[in-house]
């Protein structure tokens, strides 16, 4: 059994993060020995899964859904698919927005306006 400090060090997170995850239900409450939290080694796999989901852009609520809001027999692939499809649409929209921003910034580098007032109505940077 691991202490909260050992888990935090091995997982590369703060102890407060572990307590927060327990508080919001991402992690089950651990066993207690003399009042101190004790974790099974499996906690490290669960924390790695949470990190993976965060890196994939899932919110805490979406991670909670991934872990807890499906029937137990639901395969991981189906859980991921349910959450990944709408997330991919969000990412594609964000990428389009970022490409638009990039084009606009590149256009501003070519600005030849003599004043900011003139630039505000410049056809090069308007929509």
Please write the tens of the pLDDT for every residue from 22-74: 999 999 999 999 999 999 999 999 999 999 999 999 999 999 999 999 999 99
Q: Among 111, 100, 104, 109, which Cα is nearest to 119's?
A: 111
| Cα-based distances in Å from 97 to 31, 72, 104 | 47, 38, 11
Question: What does the pLDDT read at residue 32?
Answer: 92
Between helices 4-11 and 15-24, what is the axis angle to 10°? 100
Structure tokens at 63: 């991670």
């Amino acid at each position: 059994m691991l202490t909260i400090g050992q888990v935090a060090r091995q997982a590369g997170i703060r102890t407060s993060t572990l307590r927060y995850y327990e508080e919001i239900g991402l992690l089950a409450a651990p066993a207690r020995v003399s009042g101190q939290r004790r974790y099974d080694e499996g906690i490290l796999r669960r924390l790695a899964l949470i990190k993976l989901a965060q890196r994939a852009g899932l919110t805490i609520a979406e991670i909670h859904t991934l872990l807890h809001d499906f029937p137990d027999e639901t395969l991981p692939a189906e859980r991921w698919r349910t959450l990944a499809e709408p997330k991919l649409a969000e990412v594609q929209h964000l990428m389009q927005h970022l490409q638009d921003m990039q084009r606009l910034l590149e256009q501003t580098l070519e600005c030849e306006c003599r004043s900011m007032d003139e630039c505000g109505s410049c056809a090069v940077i308007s929509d």
